[in-house]
């Protein structure tokens, strides 16, 4: 809601924007559909999982990932995101959680289409106010002393969580490690 006026659903607002772009002659409906088709053809949580697995096995890549997420994505041959990618690493003392309180900004190319709960008003509002309770509802109970940092994504900056590497995985290959990483782990609503 904006003031006393209810905003139309996001899909209606997006369609109005598309119609304006088409009316201005900047793109056709088919061109816009093509952009989405190309994005969704390669958008997958596998991309984010590959980045995490590489960071778990390559200290130099981990440093790059934490310093410049866009450069780290490019190093793995992933399409450069049109936004700034920041990565927050979980530690024994800190757990990170990603939310977009305004809408549902989300790194689709690295995580695939966003889950419905990520876009829900309940998640967007409660993740900031009561992150520990929200995580518990997802089945993730953290020790009382663990600090929870909540990262609020926006149109310019998207976030990805670098989960802690599970104990006992030193013998696994990078591909095997990537298979352990879930979309929820990359958002911070699950441990890996």
d(CA 115, CA 122): 13
Using DSSP, state whether 160 is helix, strand or coil: strand
Per-residue pLDDT at 78 exceeds 60: yes
5-26 pLDDT, tens digit per residue, is: 455 555 676 678 878 888 999 8
- Residue 133's SS3 state is helix
Record the pTM.
0.81
pLDDT score at 1: 32
Distance separating alpha carbons of residues 181 and 157, to the nearest angstrom = 22
Active site members: 100, 103-105
Map out the domains of the chain with their CATH numbers.
Answer: 10-40 (no CATH), 43-187 (3.90.330.10)
| DSSP strands (E only) in the chain | 84-89, 94-99, 147-152, 157-162
The whole-angstrom separation of Cα 51 and Cα 36 is 23
What's the maximum distance between 2 C-alpha atoms anywhere in the chain? 58
């Amino acid at each position: 809601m904006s003031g006393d006026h209810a905003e139309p659903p996001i899909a209606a607002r997006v369609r109005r924007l598309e119609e304006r772009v088409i009316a201005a002659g900047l793109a056709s409906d088919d061109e816009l559909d093509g952009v989405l088709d190309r994005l969704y053809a390669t958008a997958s949580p596998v991309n984010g999982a590959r980045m995490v697995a590489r960071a778990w096995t390559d200290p130099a890549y981990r440093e790059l990932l934490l310093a410049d997420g866009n450069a780290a994505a490019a190093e793995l041959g992933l399409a450069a995101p049109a936004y700034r990618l920041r990565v927050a690493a979980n530690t024994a003392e800190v757990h990170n959680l990603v939310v977009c309180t305004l809408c549902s900004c989300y790194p689709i190319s690295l995580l695939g289409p966003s889950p419905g709960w990520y876009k829900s008003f309940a998640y967007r509002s409660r993740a900031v106010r009561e992150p520990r309770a929200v995580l518990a509802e997802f089945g993730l109970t953290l020790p009382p002393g663990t600090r929870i940092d909540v990262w609020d994504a926006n149109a310019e900056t998207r976030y990805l969580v670098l989960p802690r590497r599970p104990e006992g995985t030193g013998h696994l290959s990078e591909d095997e490690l990537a298979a352990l990483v879930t979309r929820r782990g990359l958002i911070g609503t699950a441990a890996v």
